[in-house]
Chains A and B, each alone.
Chain A
């Protein structure tokens, strides 16, 4: 492994929807946001230790906002770095400290604004892409940049973000950026699609308390190393479209040839573009009339 020739960028997008996490704390006191953060820190440290040139970023997703936990804006170089007492690698201790500091501040600032029990991940993933691109421009000629985004999803999908999400996914695919997903609670169709399209791994965790183990086992290796390992197989993705009238997922439907909107039932006028379609006349009526005539 030529450490100087390769830069591995890992961006962790963490869903910190306080409502979900608060409810989670009530449901399962052993696994709360703190444990989750600890597990993430373990993964982050492991990633940084794997190679000197590995880079890390952590983004927290709160409702419709995203916030960089690391690298944080607060840290100015030249600040006194408290030498930790346990002789840890300094980079790690700095990272962890900043990480903790940021999340504390973030949660302090959060207010009760509406009942958002779902998370809008498109924002954070878009920010992650920008961050990766930033780092990509800083590369020295001859260096190979490999990047991936790990999304830890807690709350449910929001229905508002479909278009943006798909745009983000295709942008990531264009740039060869993998999107991995680690789902704690409910399956997310969007993330399944994201993983399928970009070539990443989707995993729904059966045991939340063992999150750290899953993270280290499945999501620590990068794309090249994954081909050598035996990892959970890809999930079957439901690519069915939803009809425009009822939002049901359908396999066979009717498509308007003008505006391409999908319907589950035939209707003579498309409700989106108001094009009228001729209905095929029933043939039976004509022959019946003829028969009647000849009988007479």
Chain B
């Protein structure tokens, strides 16, 4: 049914399709044709489905427009409105020309995006294979979840791209080619046009005003290059040149900047004056000796001197600030003596006690001590190494048993990690299953809170199926593994 809520861009009457009279409607997202007198559309194609359009050559009697879809099908419309047929068809063609690329890009862009994502991330690719190809999740759900994650990241990264600047020599690069017969030929690309607009904003204004109402693009640019504005004459000859205003505006801008003056006294050329030593001393008010300079010199310099003295008076602190700024770097200065408070420890010996809890030492009487020492001394006096009788073989063998795997001393150790016990292909399969299960769980949790009936449905029927499918896969794997073992 024709959905009247769509925006209709163009209506063309008396268009025949398959030998039937009807009306052609071009809407926001599709093109549709309905036979005469009927409400519904018999033919309706989304712009995204249309691969290209073809028109019959100009000379032919029949004025036709053919739409070729991606699937290979084609639909032909015959414009039979007599006088306006050609116009109609051209209007349709132009509108389609504008609309088709928009939709084409969109469809392609999405596919491209998906392909790119799959190629970049092998884990994602594996997930896709495991889940979508084996029909555990449908492709739409998979991408719906993923794309929302990615668009956020992308917008952030896109904003950080920097704008490319204009090369300084671009105007000189537009070298005209002599056209042979006393004319010049300029090659304008959209890049150059953009650069011109950026450099001369007034030209952009003029362009917006005049094109396409008064002048065509070609005429505009011809006039631009002819104008004195471009050739830097800047003599406003009062010609009826649309660009003379631009020159006047530029002049105005520059003048205002000049009147503002220069803030940095180091750079201000007006302040650069040679001063004799006496003048300097006078300026700084040291000593009261009258100047010996000749009167005319004094009078000459008096005006400027007064100026410079006054200006110097005001500029001196400014100059100092500027000088300091250029000499010193804040980062490289040493720490500006932060006030510190000394740590006042009353019982600092507490730190030297380690985590050795106070143990009650075995109480030994002094008699015990004396005994022990005498025993030891007695023993050592007669000490001779007997290396052949260090230990009995029984003792040795029991020690070896304790040290062998599974022995007394080897408990809790020798835990082999799973990657030593299990062969690589099983490991890889296990990893894939694990990530797939994780992805399913993510889908599950993203369904909460359950707002729409779709989600509810997804939860109740769909996801449960998916989890069952995943679990049965796991069981298959497990039985296979058991069979391998046995």
- Residues in chain A within 8 A of chain B (CB atoms): 18-23, 25-26, 32-35, 37-39, 41-42, 45, 96, 99-100, 103-104, 107-108, 110, 112, 115, 117-118, 156-157, 159, 162-163, 165-166, 189-190, 203, 206-207, 209-214, 217-218, 230-234, 238-242, 244, 247-249, 258-259, 261, 271-274
Contacts and interface: CB of A to CB of B under 8 A. Distances in A.
A47 to B, nearest CB: 14
Contacts of A32: 379
Contacts of B413: 232-234
26 contacts: A19-B372, A22-B373, A26-B371, A34-B380, A35-B390, A38-B387, A100-B383, A110-B377, A115-B366, A159-B353, A159-B356, A159-B359, A163-B354, A165-B354, A189-B356, A207-B402, A210-B398, A212-B390, A217-B399, A217-B400, A234-B413, A242-B353, A242-B357, A244-B353, A272-B345, A272-B346
A163 B352 contact: yes
Contacts of B369: 19, 112, 115
Nearest to B392: A209
Interface in B342-366: 343-348, 350-359, 361-362, 364, 366
A283 B414 CA distance: 55
Contacts of A25: 372, 375-376, 379
B356 A242 contact: yes
Interface in B404-445: 405, 408-410, 412-414
Contacts of A232: 403, 409-410, 413
Nearest to A35: B390
Contact of A100 (B345, B359, B374, B384): B384
A162 B373 contact: no
A254 B351 CA distance: 15
B112 to A, nearest CB: 51
Contacts of B350: 244, 261, 272
User: What 4 A-B pairs are tightest by C-beta distance, nearest first?
Assistant: A233-B413, A22-B372, A162-B354, A210-B399
B338 interface: no
Given A33-B376, A232-B413, A233-B410, A271 B347 contact: yes
A157 B356 contact: yes
A96 B372 CA distance: 26
Contact of B344 (A163, A213, A230, A274): A274
Contacts of B379: 25, 32-34
Contacts of B372: 18-23, 25-26
B342 to A, nearest CB: 10
A52 B340 CA distance: 59
A15 to B, nearest CB: 13
Contacts of A234: 413
Given A38-B385, A96-B385, A33 B380 contact: yes
Contacts of B366: 115
Given A37-B385, A115-B364, A273-B344, A206 B375 contact: no
B371 A22 contact: yes
Contacts of B405: 230
A41 B387 contact: yes
B263 interface: no
B343 A273 contact: yes
Nearest to A250: B355
Given A117-B364, A244-B350, A107 B391 contact: no
B73 to A, nearest CB: 70
B368 interface: yes
A122 B348 CA distance: 21
Contact of A19 (B373, B384, B396): B373
B362 A117 contact: yes
Residue of A99, A104, A157 most packed against chain B (CB within 10 A): A104
A117 B354 contact: no
A249 B361 contact: no
A271 B361 CA distance: 27
A244 B355 CA distance: 9
Given A22-B373, A156-B361, A259 B343 contact: yes
A162 B391 contact: no
A27 to B, nearest CB: 11
B348 A272 contact: yes
A168 to B, nearest CB: 13
A191 to B, nearest CB: 12
A42 B377 contact: no
Contacts of B368: 19, 23
Contact of B390 (A33, A42, A96, A165): A42
Contacts of B346: 271-274
Contacts of A259: 343, 345
A205 B385 CA distance: 22
B381 interface: yes
Contacts of A45: 387
B152 interface: no
A207 B402 CA distance: 10
Contact of B381 (A35, A108, A247): A108
